[in-house]
């Protein structure tokens, strides 16, 4: 077999024109990438456990929680499963706020684990009616499962408002904040979240491979009552280990070093400043795109992590993406909803306002070419 | 909080004296490490899926199988769980060959998932009596769970002989080959293994974060009959995706690129040559250690991945490890069995015969100092 793929120094050169506007993986700064190439210490030695304790301390700051976030070698889907396996028994009833692909994933996952979901499902991009959510919390409901930033449409849910509802009704609030924490304001404790999770390759702009999950005190009290077969996703096992800076199974160590450095930087500049970096990019890009009047915003309330644009009549998401990819080697991710009406442009990672303004031109160019072709 | 850990260029300098003789993570060559620092393409784009198809093709070569190995973002424990979740129902009876910590992990995991294990448990380091294993396979037994190289003692099990037994008795053979594949001869198909698994940070000497698992045709026929809640570890989901070079959830991409390159190199030089590299290191180290007559081999049949040495009277594993670590910044991993009689020295990764011969001197120095101190 002949191998096409050549991992040489020229690889980065080949990728020099390439830019990712995808919501994970994201572009990473050179010095963050270089951390991945460093030699590793032994993972049960003092250097590593000390680093893991610092990482965990800074994850608390990131989640804005007094609870102890856990570090797992898994994608976001892995820690979503962890939330279910540790907090919900088979037969438990829950309300799922399904605003798109990732909300829908909660539903699928509930069914996979014998949990009975009741869905609140607004139109794609629309702000959900929280009164409906509140009404759905009947006496038997144990938890509400939501997505903070529904990456598939760009919609940002009002977790604070949802947290007030779930607290007053005495049910657990489980939040997939995978592509929101670090880009949007998020306050696990103040907003009464019982479980929140995030991954390394979204707003933290590190390599994929790690996810982080935190449980509230109330959630920890529920865990022992959940009679499930679990091993790799057993929360108590991770909790017992992390007190000593340990992870029960060999972690994706290089990613932990990157995230450690990222969090140290966020801590130095302040989380608000880090979020504001996303705000500035989102604002500049949106203003630029709305200038011509040809585009409007798709999701009604947008995350800072991503802009979803309603495309002009005659343009499809797939065509715009292919045009920009083939002509410029720039990457915008297709919509997992398969909906052709809108385009999602991520603002996470090391892309700049200048990159985004240049992308805006390319999007307009793509749309012009398609509309012309069809006249 | 003041951060002690400084991810600067000086980090590698600080680690210049450090050497890992630990069985994962292992030392990696500079050019393999550098792959981790490269910019990433989008993981659902053509460049990546093409690379993943090649990786998968070369994993077949590594496992020596016609089946399609699956790639997961998880540690070895994760894919051990995957084997159980997809092949064994609650209440199923199995025989576990428990030759140490990792054999014992099969037992613990079986109990976590409602599978009923019958243990064959020889003394640490001793070759198990396969007649006992054969006798334990009664009519109700569904599978035999073994460890190829029991990393906690250095013992290499005779998977070929075990495969003949399980085939003749019509039960599944599930093999944890995490620290054996790539270092020892292993032939999934010829040896009638129904499930085999390996991780990225052992003999493949890449970053931790990925594991690989393959199922035989017979195993795939069992999967639909196993009625389990599963999502992240659902084998069929990974199989459907990998046909198109996809992984269902964002993978630890940088590790996939490293493993791809490693396998391409193994393919060029031949798997036998790669294994022989481990043989040469093991042989040189063992000959050197046995010269003085103070040391002998601990495990009765040793893997090429690691040498386990019986220490002279008066020396303990913990003391030798601490001596070498504190004086030289060289790392030998403590025994997960807690047994103080023996020392395990890994031969995996970018350490050389020269490194091992130098380590031999340091081990002797450590033992001399302790014996002197106690006279």
Q: What is the CATH number of the domain that holds B91?
A: 3.40.640.10
Chain A residues close to B10, C-beta within 8 Å: none
Q: Is-contact A301 A155, C-beta < 8 A?
A: yes
pLDDT computed for residue A153 by the predictor: 98
Distance CA B266, CA A359 (A): 41
B103 within domain boundaries: yes
Query: CB A253 to CB B208 under 8 A?
Result: yes
Distance CA A223, CA B8 (A): 40
Angle between helical axes of A253-269 and A46-63 (0-180°, round to 10): 50
Chain A residues close to B350, C-beta within 8 Å: none
**Same domain membership, residue A154 and residue A120:** yes
| Domain closes at, from B268, B290, B310 | B268
Which residue of B81, B207, B229 is in closest CB contact with A231?
Answer: B81
**How far B271 CA sits from the closest chain A CA (Å)?**
15
A4 within domain boundaries: no
Low-confidence ranges of chain B (pLDDT < 50): 1-5, 9
Which of A41, A90, A234, A324 to probe by mutation at the B interface, max B CB count within 10 Å?
A41
A150 within domain boundaries: yes
Chain A residues close to B34, C-beta within 8 Å: 37
Which residue of A3, A44, A333 is in closest CB contact with B54?
Answer: A3
**How far B129 CA sits from the closest chain A CA (Å)?**
30
Distance CA A192, CA A273 (A): 24
| Domain closes at, from B246, B268, B290 | B268
**Same domain membership, residue B320 and residue B292:** yes
Low-confidence ranges of chain A (pLDDT < 50): 1-5
With CA atoms as reference, report the closest residue to A111 among A97, A95, A137, A90: A90
Residue of A nearest to B322 (CA): A45
**pLDDT per position as a tens digit, A188-228:** 999 999 999 999 999 999 999 999 999 999 999 999 999 99
Half-sphere exposure of B62 (CA within 13 A, CB side): 33
The residues pairing with A197 across neighbouring beta strands, listed in sequence order, are: A176, A213
pLDDT computed for residue A2 by the predictor: 35
A320 within domain boundaries: yes
Which of B11, B25, B31, B56 to probe by mutation at the A interface, max A CB count within 10 Å?
B25
**How far B112 CA sits from the closest chain A CA (Å)?**
6
Query: CB A12 to CB B40 under 8 A?
Result: no
With CA atoms as reference, report the closest residue to B213 among B191, B238, B232, B230: B238
Which residue range is the domain that position A71 belongs to?
Answer: 37-268
**Same domain membership, residue A203 and residue A162:** yes
Query: CB B231 to CB A1 under 8 A?
Result: no
**Same domain membership, residue A281 and residue A223:** no
CA distances (Å), A205 to each of A179, A282, A351, B32, in order? 10, 16, 10, 22
**Same domain membership, residue A179 and residue A65:** yes
Residue of A nearest to B4 (CA): A51
**pLDDT per position as a tens digit, A39-57:** 999 988 899 999 999 999 9
Name residues whose C-beta falls within 8 Å of residue A16's C-beta, 6 or more positions apart in sequence.
Answer: none
**Torsion (CA) A112, A116, A120, A124 in degrees, nearest 10:** 10
Which residue of A7, A24, A234 is in closest CB contact with B250?
Answer: A24
CA distances (Å), A199 to each of A80, A144, A248, in order? 11, 21, 19
**Same domain membership, residue B282 and residue B252:** no
- Specify the long-range contacts of residues A332-335, CB closer than 8 Å, at least 24 apart: A332/A21, A332/A22, A332/A359, A333/A21, A333/A22, A333/A23, A333/B42, A333/B44, A334/B44, A335/A152, A335/A153
Residue of A nearest to B262 (CA): A7
Chain A residues close to B114, C-beta within 8 Å: 229
**How far A78 CA sits from the closest chain B CA (Å)?**
6
Query: CB B73 to CB A209 under 8 A?
Result: yes
Chain A residues close to B45, C-beta within 8 Å: 325, 331
**Same domain membership, residue A243 and residue A196:** yes
**Same domain membership, residue A314 and residue A178:** no
pLDDT computed for residue B98 by the predictor: 98
* Parallel/antiparallel/unpaired status of strands A141-147 and A155-156: unpaired
B4 within domain boundaries: no
- CB-based burial, A161-174: b 16+ in 10 Å, e otherwise: ebbbbbbeeebbbb
Q: Which helix (H) or strand (E) holds A308?
A: strand A306-310
**Same domain membership, residue B44 and residue B15:** no
With CA atoms as reference, report the closest residue to B107 among B140, B75, B145: B145
DSSP letter at A181 equals B
Query: CB A252 to CB B78 under 8 A?
Result: no
Which residue of A22, A38, A74 is in closest CB contact with B12?
Answer: A38
B2 within domain boundaries: no
Chain A residues close to B81, C-beta within 8 Å: 231-232
| Domain closes at, from A268, A288, A319 | A268
A325 within domain boundaries: yes
Instruction: Give the number of beta-carbon pairs within 8 Å between A and B.
Output: 226
Q: What is the CATH number of the domain that holds B366?
A: 3.90.1150.10
Query: CB B20 to CB A28 under 8 A?
Result: no
Chain B residues close to A77, C-beta within 8 Å: 231-232, 248-249
**Same domain membership, residue B221 and residue B204:** yes
**How far A93 CA sits from the closest chain B CA (Å)?**
16
**How far B368 CA sits from the closest chain A CA (Å)?**
25
pLDDT computed for residue A86 by the predictor: 98
Distance CA B36, CA B12 (A): 15
The residues pairing with B206 across neighbouring beta strands, listed in sequence order, are: none
Backbone angles phi, psi at A124, to 5 degrees: -55, 130
Which of B80, B209, B321 to probe by mutation at the A interface, max A CB count within 10 Å?
B209
**Same domain membership, residue A309 and residue A176:** no
Question: Tell me, what's the ipTM?
Answer: 0.95
**pLDDT per position as a tens digit, A234-244:** 999 999 999 99
Distance CA A332, CA A289 (A): 15
Half-sphere exposure of B342 (CA within 13 A, CB side): 23
**Same domain membership, residue B221 and residue B136:** yes
B1 within domain boundaries: no
The residues pairing with A71 across neighbouring beta strands, listed in sequence order, are: A212
Q: Is-contact A210 A67, C-beta < 8 A?
A: no
Chain B residues close to A45, C-beta within 8 Å: 325, 331
Q: How many domains does chain A have?
A: 2
């Amino acid at each position: 077999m002949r191998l096409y793929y050549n991992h040489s120094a020229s690889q980065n050169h080949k990728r020099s024109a390439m830019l990712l506007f995808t919501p994970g993986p994201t572009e990473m700064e050179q010095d963050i990438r270089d951390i991945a190439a460093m030699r590793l210490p032994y993972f049960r030695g003092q250097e590593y456990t000390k680093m893991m304790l610092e990482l965990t301390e800074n994850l608390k700051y990131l989640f804005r929680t007094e609870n102890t976030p856990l570090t797992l070698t898994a994608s976001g889907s892995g820690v979503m499963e962890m939330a279910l396996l540790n907090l919900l028994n088979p037969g438990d009833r829950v309300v799922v706020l399904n605003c798109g692909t990732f909300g829908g994933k909660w539903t699928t996952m509930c069914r996979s684990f014998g949990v009975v979901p009741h869905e609140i499902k607004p139109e794609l991009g629309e702000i959900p009616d929280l009164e409906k959510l509140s009404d759905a919390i009947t006496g038997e409901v144990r938890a509400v499962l939501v997505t903070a930033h529904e990456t598939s449409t760009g919609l940002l849910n009002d977790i604070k408002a949802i947290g007030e509802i779930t607290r007053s009704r005495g049910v657990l609030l489980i939040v997939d904040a995978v592509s929101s924490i670090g880009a949007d304001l998020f306050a696990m404790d103040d907003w009464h979240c019982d479980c929140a999770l995030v991954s390394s390759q979204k707003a933290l702009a590190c390599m994929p491979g790690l996810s982080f999950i935190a449980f509230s005190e109330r959630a920890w009290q529920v865990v022992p009552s959940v009679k499930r077969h679990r091993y790799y996703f057993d929360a108590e096992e991770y909790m017992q280990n992390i007190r000593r800076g340990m992870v029960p199974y060999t972690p994706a160590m290089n990613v932990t070093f990157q995230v450690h450095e990222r969090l140290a930087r966020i801590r130095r500049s302040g989380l608000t400043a880090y979020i504001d970096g996303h705000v500035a990019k989102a604002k500049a890009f949106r203003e630029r795109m709305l200038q011509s009047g040809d585009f409007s915003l798709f999701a009604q309330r947008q995350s800072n992590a991503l802009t979803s644009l309603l495309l002009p009549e005659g343009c499809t998401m797939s065509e715009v993406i292919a045009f920009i990819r083939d002509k410029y080697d720039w990457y915008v991710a297709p919509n997992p909803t398969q909906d052709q009406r809108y385009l999602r442009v991520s603002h996470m990672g090391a892309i700049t306002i200048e990159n985004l303004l240049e992308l805006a031109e390319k999007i307009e160019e793509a749309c012009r070419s398609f509309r012309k072709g069809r006249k």
